Structure 1
C-alpha cells in the first residue's frame, strides 16, 4: 500500500510518502488533557508530591513507568490499580483533537495503527467517547512490551500491518513518543497540542494540517 500524507503549511502542501501511519492516542488523536491532569494531581496530593513535576514526568509514559520514575518506593501494583480505576471512570472533557475524525475517516483499512501508553480498555473507552474509529491495529500497554521511549510498540505495529519500519510515519505529541518513533527508524510528525521533541521531522499545530491521499484511489 502506498500513501501520501500532505502537511499543509503556509508555503503549500508538503508530500510525505509512506506505507502506513502510526498514531499516538492521548494528545494526538484524543484530547484527554483534563482527565490526565485530574488523575495525576489527585495522585500527587495523596502522596504529598509536586503535581507539576509528576505531570511533566507522566507525559507519554505508562502509569507504571511514571510511578517508578517519580516515587519508586511506593507499592507499584497498588498505585497502578488506583490510577487505573480513576482513569477509566473519568471521561469528562474527552474529545477528538481537531482534524482527527476527518483524517482517520480518510485512512485506508490496513494503512494505520495506534500505539499508546494507555492499556487496551482505556484506549477503547477514549477512542469511542471521542467518536473515533478503533484502528485495525492497536498496540497498548498491557505489560508485554517496553513502554515509550523504547521503539518496541511502533515496531510491533509496523510488523502487524506488514509494513517496513522505514516506510512508516509516526504522529506524536510527546518527547518520549517522538524518541520512540525515531528509535524505530521511522519519520516523525510532531503535533504541537503537546510538547513534541525538537527532533521530530516536521511539526504541525494539530491534525487539521494533515491530509492523506491514496494514489489511484478516487
Structure 2
C-alpha cells in the first residue's frame, strides 16, 4: 500500500507523542553523545547512531559495548552527559503551536529518554511537559515494545486504538503500531514499518480542536 499524502481529519480521544525527532530536534546532541561513545570503544559511529534512534540508551550501549564494559554504568554516564548538553536543541516546527492548542489531559509524552533527560530537552526547546509522561524509567521494555504507548493510554484513561501516535523512528513506529494506535510519521523515516501510514514533514500542518471531550485532528 502506498503512503497517503492527502489532508485528512481523524477523531481521537488523545494524542501520544514521541519526543526526539517528533517534538524536538536533538540531532546535534545525539550525534555528540554517540560519537563520543563510539570513539571511546572503537566502534562504527554510523551503525551505533542508526540503531539508537527511538531506543533507550542502555539498550544501545548493550548492543555495542565491548565485552567487559559495565553496561549500566556506561549508560548512566552517557545520560548524565546528555542532561547537561542541551546546545542546539530546538522544537520541531509547529510543535509549540500544536501542544498549546491541546487540553493538558488530552496528550502524553512517550519517550525512550529518562524522565530527567526528557524534562531537560523539552525545557531547552521551550515546550511544556504534560501531566502524563512515560519515559525509559517507567517501562520494563523499551520501543519497539508497545509497553510505553499502552501505559500512556491507560494513564489517560483512553483505549489505545482511540489514540493517534506521532513518531519518527522505526522502533517507535513498530511500538505504536503494536499498541493499536493510529500512527502518523513525522519526517523522513521510510522503512517497511512505515508503509501505508500517513506522514507529515513536521507539525506545522497539524491542527487539533477539542469538542465534547474528543479531539478532531487535521493533518
**TM-score (normalizing by structure 1):** 0.90
Q: Please report the RMSD computed on the Cα atoms of aligned residues, expressed in angstroms.
A: 1.8
Residue number among 99, 104, 111 corresponding to 1:104 in the alignment: 99
Instruction: Note the C-alpha offset of 1:17.
Output: 1.2
Write the distance in 2 (CA, Å) between the matches of 1:158 and 1:216: 18
2:167 and 2:185 in contact (8 A); partners too: yes
Please list the CA deviations of residues 23-76 of structure 1 after superposition, one character each: whole Å capped at 9, or x if unmatched.
Answer: 000110011000000000011000000000000010000011111222362210
Aligned equivalents of 1:70, 1:56: Cα separation in 2: 12
- Take 2:56 and 2:83, find their aligned partners in 1: how far apart are those partners? 14
Going from structure 1 to structure 2, the CA distance change for 1:155 and 1:203 (only over 3 Å counts) comes to same
Tell me how far apart the structure 2 counterparts of residues 61 and 53 of structure 1 sit (CA, whole Å).
14
User: How far, CA to CA, are the matches of 2:80 and 2:88 in structure 1?
Assistant: 17
Task: Structure 1: state its 5+ residue gaps.
Answer: 1-8
Among 146, 149, 153, the alignment partner of 2:141 is 146
- Give the aligned partner of residue 194 of structure 2: 198
**Counterpart contact for 1:145–1:153, Cα < 8 Å:** no
Distance 1:168 1:143, change over 3 A: closer
CA-to-aligned-CA distance 1:157-197 (integer Å, 9 cap, x gap) = 00000001110110000010000000001110000155574
Aligned to 2:111: 116
Give runs of ≥4 in structure 1 deviating > 3 Å: 193-197
The question of whether the paired residues in 1 share the 8 Å contact of 2:150 and 2:160 is answered with yes
**TM-score (structure 2 length as normaliser):** 0.89
Residue of structure 2 equivalent to 1:5: none
1:169 & 1:80 partners in 2: Cα distance? 31
Gaps of 5+ in 2: 214-219
Query: What is the aligned residue count?
Result: 208
Q: SS of the counterpart of 1:212? A: strand
Partners of 1:143 and 1:71 in 2: CA distance: 24
Choose from 10, 22, 27 the match for 1:33. Answer: 27
1:209 equivalent in alignment to 2:205: yes
Instruction: Verify the 8 A CA contact 1:178 1:200 in the aligned structure 2.
Output: no
Instruction: Tell me, yes or no, if the aligned pair for 1:24 and 1:173 is still in contact at 8 Å.
Output: yes
d(CA) in 2 for partners of 1:97, 1:123: 15
1:70-99 residue CA offsets vs partner (Å, 9 max, x unmatched): 236221012112211211110110010000
